[in-house]
Amino acid sequence: MEIDELKKEVASIRWWHQIDLGHGIITPGLNMPARRLKRLHLPDDLSGMTVLDIGAWDGFFSFEAERRGASRVVALDSFCWSGAGWGTKAGFNLARRVLNSKVEDRELEVLGISPDTVGTYDVVLFLGVLYHMRHPLLALERVASVTKQLLVLETHVDEELSARPSMAFYPGSELDGDPTNWWGPNVKAVKAMLKDVGFPSVQLIWKGSWGRRFANAAKRRMKDGTLLRYGLQATRAVFHARR
Each domain of the chain, given as residue ranges in start order, spans 109-242
Q: Record the pTM.
A: 0.93
Of 123, 116, 95, nearest to 26 by C-alpha is 95
Domain 109-242 architecture: 3-Layer(aba) Sandwich (3.40)
Q: What one-character DSSP code corresponds to residue 13?
A: S
CA geometry: angle 76, 82, 83, nearest 5 deg: 100
Q: What is the pLDDT of residues 147-198, one digit of tens each?
A: 999 999 999 999 887 899 999 999 988 787 889 999 999 999 999 999 999 9
CA 178 to chain centre: 16
Indicate the residue type of 131. Y
How many Cβ atoms sit within 10 Å of the Cβ of residue 166?
A: 15
Which segments in the chain show pLDDT lower than 70?
1, 210-214, 216-218, 220-232
Q: What one-character DSSP code corresponds to residue 68?
A: T
Q: Which pLDDT score, from 0 to 100, does residue 220 have?
A: 66
Q: Which pLDDT score, from 0 to 100, does residue 3 have?
A: 92
Of 188, 183, 153, nearest to 168 by C-alpha is 183
Strand partners, 22: 25
Q: Which pLDDT score, from 0 to 100, does residue 1 have?
A: 67
Strand partners, 223: none
With a CB cutoff of 8 Å and minimum separation 6, the contacts of 163 are: none
3-state DSSP assignment of residue 8: helix
Indicate the residue type of 174. E
Q: What one-character DSSP code corresponds to residue 100?
A: T
